[in-house]
A and B are shown apart, each in its own frame.
Chain A
Amino acid sequence: LRRCVISLDMRRIEESFRGIKNAIQAKDTFQNVTILSTSETLHSIKPLDVCCVTKNLLAFYVDRVFKDHQELSPQILRRISSIANSFLYMQKTLQQCQEQRLCRCSQEATNATRIIHDYYDQLEVRSAAIKSLGELDVFLAWIDKNHQGTSAA
């Protein structure tokens, strides 16, 4: 069964994240709480569910995290913009997979992403956004691993 594999410039996205990781994580006031990292379920996602979870988590970041985070530093704003627009592009390429019905969502995939939303909702919105931004490397590493044939140019 063909899998949905999307072409990504991961090198540039990871570079952007490395440039903001320390500054963002320093603002995270709830160090003993995690949003993405607790979801061990991310690592138990089956290959067939990768597309759905990728789509759901891209939407999580694009529709919630980046919007809920307010950034004043132009340097950090630039890098968040770079990641946000790259995620937007990835959503478009995933759209093609959806049209070819390669992006089905099993119950486990839906549960995995709902857990992340639940954790997000348990925190005050700015804190939740900061924490999720700081945990982007968890998501990027998962994308890199699961969309193997497409890592950095």
Chain B
Amino acid sequence: DGVAVLPAPQNLSVQSTNMKHVLTWSPVIVPGEIIHYSVEYQGEYESLYMSHIWIPSSWCSPTQGPECDITDDITATVPYSLRVRATLGSLTSAWSTLKHPFNRNSTILTPPGMEITKDGFHLVIKLEDLGPQFEFFVAYWKREPGAKEHVKMVRHGGIPVHLETVEPGAAHCVKVRTFVKAIGRHSAFSQTECIKVQGETLPL
């Protein structure tokens, strides 16, 4: 009896932004059928010392869509091998393995979102919450010739932080970038935003 062979998933790739990593692949199509997929990974440790060991992904063993959030599996700054196979009932495809192992130090770091407000004469900043791996490098200065730039490290996003007490009528400007210690990299700076104590956020 001819056993139908299930094709292996193709075009595996990882999209990684701000330490969120998603593995995607081209779906396997069998008309009228629902295909499931299983994802497994090997860190560099496994590939060096225990190459027979493949670990089922936390969220995608099995899964239905042609993608998998592997963020919780990629927990060290070493290369990770990833593989996927399709299943349909008792039929399973061959494994497809990501061509190049993925290392989280290649993640794209985007400038963080920020919200600047004033509370009386206090300049307050609230930064985008990007998760526990992110610290924020905030630079701020009074908008006048020769003004000194001040710097503040903010450990967590999502919480309003007092930056400075300002003089009435003076405009102050702020820019920020992220830093991820686990990979030793920082993002580009955000756009500069300026605010006048009595006024609204001024365009540059």
Contact = CB atoms under 8 A, between A and B. Distances in A.
A9 B182 contact: yes
A86 B49 contact: no
Interface stretch (A21-29, A75-83, A103-111): A75-83
Contacts of A62: 45, 49
Contacts of A12: 75, 182
Interface in B111-168: 132-135
A67 B50 contact: yes
A88 interface: yes
Given A66-B49, A84-B43, A88-B45, A153 B133 contact: yes
Contacts of B29: none
Residue among A62, A63, A81, A86 with max Cβ neighbours from chain B (10 Å):
A81
B184 A7 contact: yes
B92 interface: no
B193 interface: no
A7 B58 CA distance: 26
Interface string B180-204: 1110100000000000000000000
Nearest to B80: A85
Given A67-B49, A89-B76, A153-B181, A74 B55 contact: yes
A11 interface: yes
What is the interface of chain A mostly: helix, strand, loop, or mixed?
helix
Contacts, number: 64
Contact of A85 (B43, B61, B133): B43
A88 B76 contact: yes
Nearest to A79: B75
Contacts of A82: 43, 75-76
B56 interface: yes
Contacts of B44: 85, 88
Interface of B: 43-46, 48-50, 53, 55-56, 58, 61, 73, 75-78, 80, 132-135, 180-182, 184
Interface of A: 7, 9, 11-12, 16, 62-63, 66-67, 74, 77-78, 81-82, 84-89, 92, 153
19 contacts: A12-B75, A16-B75, A62-B45, A66-B45, A66-B49, A66-B50, A67-B50, A81-B45, A81-B55, A82-B43, A82-B75, A82-B76, A84-B49, A85-B43, A85-B75, A86-B75, A88-B44, A88-B48, A153-B182
